[in-house]
Structure 1
Amino acid sequence: MSLSFAKRLDNVETSAIRELFKLLGKPGIISFAGGFPDSAMFDVAGIRQAVDTALSDEPGGALQYGATEGYQPLREQLAGFMQSKGVQGLAGDGLMVTTGSQQALDLLGKTLLEPGSTAIVEGPTFLATIQCFRLYGADLVSAPIDDAGVQVDRLEQLIVQHRPRLVYLIPTFGNPSGAMLSLERRKRVLELAVKHQTLIVEDDPYGDLYFDAPPPPSLLALSHQVPGSRDWLVHCGSLSKVLSPGLRIGWMVAPPALLAKAVMCKQFSDAHTSTFAQATAARYLAAGLMPATLATVRATYGRRALAMGQALRQELGAAVEFVQPQGGLFVWARLTGAGGKLRDAGELAQRAIEQGVAFVPGAPFYCADPDRSTFRLSFATAGEDLIREGVARLGRSLA
């Protein structure tokens, strides 16, 4: 039997990261490949308490169908959570709950992108965003970044040249780059949005995972300083990296007309995000449990990031360059070829599997002109001793 598939599938391929996971069943492998939080960090007792409270207080609301826009108590809690981080003028009705922030990206693709339209993304950027936007036929343009995030002068040139439907950015501890957009550049991005009437999408799943000093305010929090910028700004948030990815709770703040279209498309997709998960998250936030959880994960990931940085310098030396992360889940590194050693991260990944350690080569994170010397390491799910052993194996792979 021969099936005919939609032509849009010709634009995408299976995730390189998901394919890599098939190799991780080898006994004793140390994985730096995943982009997920450590399950040992989940506040099981607090989530159980939130479940019990939700079922006691409002079992019908937790177990019945719900509004596509989201469970109202959760929308209000999320608005308060954003207000605590400097966002002004946001009420519960100003956001919609999504099934993870990944669904927010899919809804943006459905509502804004079509064959022949253009989207600008960072180079490198979140692999699933590249796949999602390509699924809807968009032509993707890569905006260069450095340690301070997207290069705004170059971004403006690309906006003028391509007139994109949207610009997608991860300003805080980006995946995979770990870069943090500077305060000055954040304000300039908002000014560009108004000047060129271009929609900016701020994806912010990692902003709460800082290790020492907090990052600059989000674009959404800064928008009140740039008149008119709120009309050209979408903010996507998530509880996956800070509470539990299994709850699949994300949210999107967007201009009212776009939010209405996104709600309509979500009706067609899944009717609504799990009311049980939403009620659980709402009770968790209402109980004031999040600050303690954040303090724990920040301290743990901070120690692991430091251990990975120290191990890379010790084991790989001049053969690798990277910026020590100040938050998030990743180290983004580049092979220098010093001492005649490898410059191709794809080849290093194959050697590393043989040594019992896995990571993700950087090439799939670029929508164009990939830097094949780059690679991503996640320090989130391995303890400090395991990190040191894994990086030592990586060093042997490079020898």
Structure 2
Amino acid sequence: MTSPWTRKSWGRTAVWNSSGTPCPCSSNKEGRLLRFSNRISHMDTSALRNVLALTARPDIISFAGGLPAPEAFPVEDLRRAADKVLSARGPAALQYSASLGLSSLREKLARRHRAQGISCTADDILMVSGSQQGLDLAGKVFLEPGDAVLCENPTYLAALTAFRSYECQPLPVETDDEGMVLEDLERKLAAHPEAKLMYIIPTFQNPTGKTWSLERRKGVLALAERYGLPILEDNPYGDLRYEGEPVPTLKSMDTAGIVTYMGSFSKVLSPGLRLGWLIAAPALLEKYASAKECADLQTSTLSQMVADTYLEDNDLDANIRRISALYKKRRDLMLSCLERDLPAGASCTHPQGGLFLWVTLPEGIDTTALMPVMAARKVAYIPGVSFFAGQDEKRCLRLNYSNASEDQIVLGASIMCRVFRDALEKG
């Protein structure tokens, strides 16, 4: 075995193998070797960090992040809710609370989900610190190093990062306009019977904006049941529907107790509250709760009480209708701009809701290579390659339309499409 050698990088000494591969260690300021876990080397969040950095720059027209529009936040309603909580129950709101979450909030969520077809009670719900914690808890509960996680291809960038942090292997399944391709899913299941988990976003998928058909959902659920494969169904965008009829969730059709459902307030109320939830069968929910207790004991008492009071005093569905009307207008505007200005041979999805659409450009364009050009022209998107677990797709990109103003959408789309046309002309 060759000895590692060191070199200076970003002002610190990093340790590298002779092949040029970094070791999971580095030196601190005293020069002592710090030995990190193998796991941390799989936690490459630089792409997500760079996206968040771009969205924070006021000079950038950002179609990159999945940020809700700030004007969509019910600031005054939440302020009144916070005032009410702190005035009436201040000490309790600032204290530790139950690890499963606030019982009155979980009961409200259970009623809401029962109306949507999911059979559950408050006891079937665990409050988590945003959906991202739900992904992490699934990793803790199900995954060992080397395990396979089946997922759509492409899929949510931060889910890939979360699962890779457990040293597992995302196993991509082909998708089309109706969802996972059943024939490819069955091939993957037969070839990988050791697979531990399936992660899916069937409604207004991130990054494509597509929605699975009912038939495809039934088919995927039947295959998962046959192979005894747990499903993590992520649905942060499902309430933001602008057209078409709702499609039942997999959880609402789950009779075997293999589906864990993840919901969130981030897109319909506020991401700053950091409130999400898991719905799962009792034995499975107990495992999630144990994993959560080891991570942070409980989700913020204050945030839960504020959300609970907001739901008590306000109409969440009215807020969702208001947000949906705003986002539909921006989606329609972005689609019209793209249809007018994208180069010949390009295509984009037409999401019925959610926050994203997906652009596929003609062969010869590398959306990652064009990022510096876009940044110089003050426009940002996320290259499609970030979302693929199983192929190097260079000509795709994800666009967010919820956070930019109408003027920014028109100007940013024009600049972006001009860069794409110029790149094609230059060959």
Higher helix fraction: Structure 1 or Structure 2?
1
Aligned to 1:347: 369
Q: Tell me whether 1:5 sits opposite 2:36 in the alignment.
A: yes
Using the alignment, how far apart are the partners of 1:136 and 1:181 within structure 2?
28
Tell me, what secondary structure is at the counterpart of 1:96? strand
Instruction: Supply the AA of the counterpart residue of 1:244.
Output: S
Partners of 1:72 and 1:168 in 2: CA distance? 28
- The one-letter amino acid paired with 2:356 is F
The two structures, once aligned, show a CA RMSD in angstroms of 1.6
Counterpart of 1:196 (choices 206, 227, 243) is 227
Distance 1:207 1:26, change over 3 A: closer
- Please state how far the C-alpha of 1:122 moved relative to its aligned partner: 1.0
Q: Secondary structure at the match of 2:369?
A: helix
Q: CA shift at 1:23, angstroms?
A: 5.0
For residue 248 of structure 2, the aligned residue among 217, 226, 239 is: 217
With CA pairs under 8 Å and 6+ residues apart, which has the higher RCO, 1 or 2? 1
Give 1:15 shift.
3.2
Shift of 1:349: 2.3
* Structure 1 equivalent of residue 310 of structure 2: 284
Q: CA deviation at 1:276?
A: 0.4
- Matched with 1:31 is 62
Q: Which structure has the larger Rg over C-alpha atoms?
A: 2
Aligned counterparts, 1:152-231, within 5 A? 152-163=182-193, 164-223=195-254, 227-228=255-256, 231=257
Describe how 1:1-399 pairs up with structure 2 within 5 A: 1=31, 2-23=33-54, 28-88=59-119, 90-163=120-193, 164-223=195-254, 227-228=255-256, 231-337=257-363, 342-398=364-420, 399=422
Between the aligned partners of 2:221 and 2:355, the Cα distance in structure 1 is 26
SS of the aligned residue for 2:347 comes to: strand
How far did 1:329 drift?
0.5
Partner of 2:18: none
Measured against aligned partners, the alpha-carbon deviations of 1:142-182 in whole angstroms (never above 9, x if no partner) come to 01111212112211221221121110000001111111011
Q: Answer yes or no: is the 8 Å Cα contact 2:60–2:379 preserved in 1.
A: yes
Provide the C-alpha distance between the structure 2 equivalents of 1:33 and 1:254, rounded to a whole number of angstroms: 32
> Which amino acid is 1:387 matched to?
I
Shift of 1:222: 2.7
Which amino acid letter does the alignment assign opposite residue 306 of structure 1? D
Q: 1:25 to 1:11 in 2, by over 3 A?
A: closer
Tell me how far apart the structure 1 counterparts of residues 299 and 384 of structure 2 sit (CA, whole Å). 32
Matched residues, number: 389
Compute the displacement of 1:31 (Å).
0.8
Deviations 1:75-107 (A, max 9, x none): 11111121221212x110111000001111101
1:184 deviates by 0.7
* CA distance in 2 between partners of 1:289 and 1:25 (Å): 31
Distance in 1, Cα, partners of 2:91 & 2:53? 41
Q: Which amino acid aligns with 2:399?
A: L
Q: Which residues of structure 1 form unaligned runs of 5+?
A: none
TM-superposition CA deviations, 1:217-240 (whole Å, max 9, x none): 2111233xxx42xx1111011000
Unmatched 5+ stretches in structure 2: 1-30, 423-427
Q: CA deviation at 1:25?
A: 6.7
**C-alpha distance in structure 2 between counterparts of 1:282 and 1:345, whole Å:** 43
Q: TM-score, normalised by structure 1?
A: 0.93
Aligned partners of 2:312 and 2:244: how far apart in 1? 26
Q: Distance in 1 between matches of 2:238 and 2:132?
A: 16
Whether the 8 Å contact between 2:55 and 2:65 is mirrored in structure 1 is: no
1:296-328, CA deviations, whole angstroms, 9 ceiling, x for partnerless residues? 111111110111111011111424211211111
C-alpha distance in structure 2 between counterparts of 1:191 and 1:174, whole Å? 21
Query: Could you list the per-position Cα deviations for residues 174-194 of structure 1 after superposition, in whole angstroms to 9, with x for gaps in the alignment?
Result: 111111011111111221222
Q: Which amino acid aligns with 1:283?
A: T
> Whole-Å Cα distance in 2 between the matches of residues 15 and 170 of structure 1?
23
> In 2, distance between residues paired with 1:96 and 1:371?
37
Q: Which amino acid aligns with 2:41?
A: D
TM-score normalised over the length of structure 2: 0.88
The whole-number CA distance in structure 1 between the counterparts of 2:161 and 2:212 is 24
Structure 2 counterpart SS, 1:51: helix
Once residues 26 and 11 of structure 1 are traced to their aligned partners in structure 2, the CA distance between those partners, rounded to angstroms, is: 28
Secondary structure, counterpart of 1:87 in structure 2: coil
Between the aligned partners of 1:204 and 1:284, the Cα distance in structure 2 is 21
Q: Distance between the aligned counterparts of 2:342 and 2:224, measured in 1?
A: 42
Q: Percent identity?
A: 39
What is the CA–CA distance in structure 2 between the aligned matches of 1:12 and 1:48, rounded to whole Å?
36
Partner amino acid for 1:358?
A: A
